[in-house]
């Protein structure tokens, strides 16, 4: 070990602060990272040119939405852009029909404290699939994807239908396309990485498959894998005591995810929080904490 | 011809043996001599131990990515982590002229790396913290 190691007190910022970026800088040097805040401050049409990259044309075409105008055959707008320039937050949502309750695609990006970019949210829902109201409890209050409170009845139905925690409908099987476009967008913005905090065990596993490594929590994922093996603490806790802890659930990503969502990590004196992942643009990290996994 | 290999594992002491085995497998596959392979294994071991003990201190450890690229008589090893950045060049070299009983404990890992590698570099940024080790070998 290095006895005389000197850790930096403060990590370096990845790029200039958004308020210090001028158009002149951007024109001069294409390697200067552009913040979300800077994108949001662009004139509307320039901004829309950039944001088109966040919406894979194949995905829009599945719902007959034109990639240039974001309008459907009825002429209605199907894409909504939510902007909060003061906090550097951008959300793009696409709906298959104007009045649809849920977006079939939603992506939220935000500047982080180091002037990098966080992927706060990525949702891909099949709007034609049955809906499970796991996002509201029985009193109609939002569950925040089951993190604040839970709707156990709906969660049990969702699990039986093959959904993972946090999902209200089955997915669109389009995350590969979405990530390719997201990486293209970030490369255009001269960013080398994107960061996120996985909501569930299942989403962490999916992000591993998409090439993410761990800033925090790789060891926790390894510990979970070990403790779900024969004789492990999590395996023993799959005792049927709740509908989300059935003995066979260790076998699959979704089964484990529901058990973790149900608080099974308490058996290891752990909770599902604090994980953070990173994707280097154009690179696949190759992390694999559940070898030979069945989803 | 350039051959590249990558292994990503958690930054914990239990991963060290996997990283050593990986370095050995790559060296064997590429026909790299035993002495070079030995130096590389020890250097990777020291560097990974450092990341485990200091880089991810105070947090649930993240990943270490080990990349090896072999080309024209040179091996390049890149160790990337996402923990606290540091500056290995800021560490003073241990005084090996002192008698054994007067030498301080530790500090030899970095010294060993600098002594056995042909080049050592370190970069820190949006892509993480990367220690780059280069060593030439007889083809």
Give the pLDDT of residue B102: 64
Cross-chain residue pair A11–B85, CB shorter than 8 Å: yes
Give the pLDDT of residue A113: 92
H-helix or E-strand containing B21? helix B16-29
Give the pLDDT of residue A15: 76
Asked whether the beta carbons of A228 and A234 are under 8 A apart, the reply is: yes
Cross-chain residue pair A11–B84, CB shorter than 8 Å: yes
Q: How far apart are CA A39 and CA A154, in angstroms?
A: 39
Q: What is the mean pLDDT of residues A209-226?
A: 98
pTM: 0.90
Cross-chain residue pair A4–B91, CB shorter than 8 Å: yes
Residue A232 has pLDDT above 80, yes or no: yes
Q: What is the mean pLDDT of residues A238-261?
A: 98
Question: Could you tell me if A20 lies within 8 Å of chain B, comparing CB atoms?
Answer: no
Cross-chain residue pair A116–B126, CB shorter than 8 Å: yes
Give the pLDDT of residue B99: 66
Residue A196 has pLDDT above 90, yes or no: yes
Range of the domain at B78: 3-136
| Chain A residues whose beta carbon lies within 8 Å of the beta carbon of residue B11 | 218-219
Cross-chain residue pair A218–B107, CB shorter than 8 Å: no
User: Which of B8, B54, B82 is the closest to A215 by Cβ?
Assistant: B82
Question: Could you tell me if A221 lies within 8 Å of chain B, comparing CB atoms?
Answer: yes
Q: What is the largest CA-CA distance in chain A?
A: 68
* CATH number (domain holding residue B24): 3.30.565.10
Q: How far apart are CA A138 and CA A118, in angstroms?
A: 32
Residue B104 has pLDDT above 60, yes or no: no
CA-nearest residue to B87 within chain A is A6
What is the domain count for chain B? 1
| Chain B residues whose beta carbon lies within 8 Å of the beta carbon of residue A216 | 56, 59-62
Give the pLDDT of residue B18: 97
| Chain B residues whose beta carbon lies within 8 Å of the beta carbon of residue A219 | 10-12, 60-61
Q: What is the mean pLDDT of residues A181-194?
A: 96
This model of the complex carries an ipTM of 0.88
Q: What is the mean pLDDT of residues B34-57?
A: 94
Cross-chain residue pair B8–A285, CB shorter than 8 Å: yes
Residue B1 has pLDDT above 90, yes or no: no
Cross-chain residue pair A3–B105, CB shorter than 8 Å: yes
The full set of domain ranges for chain A reads 18-217+275-280
User: Mean pLDDT, chain B, as a whole number?
Assistant: 88
Interface test with B, best of A31, A214, A269 (most B CBs within 10 A): A214
Cross-chain residue pair A33–B126, CB shorter than 8 Å: yes
SS3 at position B39 = helix
Cross-chain residue pair B62–A1, CB shorter than 8 Å: no
Cross-chain residue pair B82–A214, CB shorter than 8 Å: yes
Q: What is the mean pLDDT of residues A281-288?
A: 97
Asked whether the beta carbons of A136 and A158 are under 8 A apart, the reply is: no
CA-nearest residue to A213 within chain B is B63
Q: What is the pLDDT of residues A98-148, one digit of tens each?
A: 889 999 999 999 999 988 999 999 999 999 999 999 998 888 898 888 888
Interface test with A, best of B13, B14, B60 (most A CBs within 10 A): B60
Q: How far apart are CA A151 and CA A260, in angstroms?
A: 16
């Amino acid at each position: 070990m290095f006895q005389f190691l000197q850790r930096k007190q403060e990590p370096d910022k990845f790029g200039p602060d958004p308020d210090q970026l001028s158009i002149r800088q951007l024109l001069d040097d294409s390697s200067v990272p552009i913040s979300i805040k800077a994108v949001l401050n662009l004139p509307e049409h320039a901004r829309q040119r950039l944001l088109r990259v966040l919406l894979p044309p194949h995905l829009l075409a599945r719902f007959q939405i034109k990639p240039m105008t974001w309008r459907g055959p009825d002429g209605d707008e199907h894409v909504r852009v939510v902007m909060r320039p003061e906090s550097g937050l951008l959300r793009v949502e696409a709906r298959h029909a104007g009045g649809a309750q849920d977006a079939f695609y939603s992506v939220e990006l935000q500047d982080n404290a180091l002037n990098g970019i966080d992927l706060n949210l990525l949702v891909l829902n099949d709007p034609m699939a049955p809906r499970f109201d796991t996002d509201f409890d029985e009193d109609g209050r939002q569950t925040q994807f089951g993190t604040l409170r839970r709707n156990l009845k709906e969660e049990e139905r969702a699990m039986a239908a093959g959904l993972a925690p946090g999902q209200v409908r089955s997915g669109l099987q389009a995350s590969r396309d979405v990530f390719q476009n997201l990486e293209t967008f970030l490369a255009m913005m001269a960013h080398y990485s994107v960061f996120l905090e996985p909501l569930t065990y299942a989403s962490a596993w999916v992000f591993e498959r998409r090439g993410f490594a761990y800033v925090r929590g790789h060891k926790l994922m390894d510990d979970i894998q070990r403790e779900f093996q024969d004789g492990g603490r999590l395996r023993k806790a799959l005792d049927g005591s709740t509908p989300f802890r059935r003995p066979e659930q260790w076998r699959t990503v979704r089964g484990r995810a529901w058990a973790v969502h149900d608080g099974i990590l308490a058996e290891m004196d752990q909770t599902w929080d604090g994980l953070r992942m990173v994707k280097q643009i154009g690179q696949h990290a190759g992390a694999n904490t559940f070898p030979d996994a069945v989803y | 011809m350039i051959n590249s290999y990558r292994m990503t594992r958690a930054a914990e002491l239990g991963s060290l043996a996997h990283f050593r085995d990986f370095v050995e497998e790559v060296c064997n596959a590429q026909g790299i001599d035993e002495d070079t392979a030995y130096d590389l294994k020890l250097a990777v071991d020291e560097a990974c131990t450092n990341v485990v003990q200091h880089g991810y201190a105070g947090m649930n450890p993240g990943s270490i990515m080990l990349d090896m690229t072999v080309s024209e008589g040179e091996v390049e090893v890149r160790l990337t982590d996402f923990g606290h950045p540091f500056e290995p060049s800021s560490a003073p070299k241990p005084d090996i002229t002192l008698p054994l009983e007067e030498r301080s404990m530790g500090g030899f890992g970095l010294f060993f790396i600098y002594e056995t590698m042909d080049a050592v570099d370190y970069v820190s940024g949006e892509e993480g913290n990367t220690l780059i080790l280069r060593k030439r070998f007889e083809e």
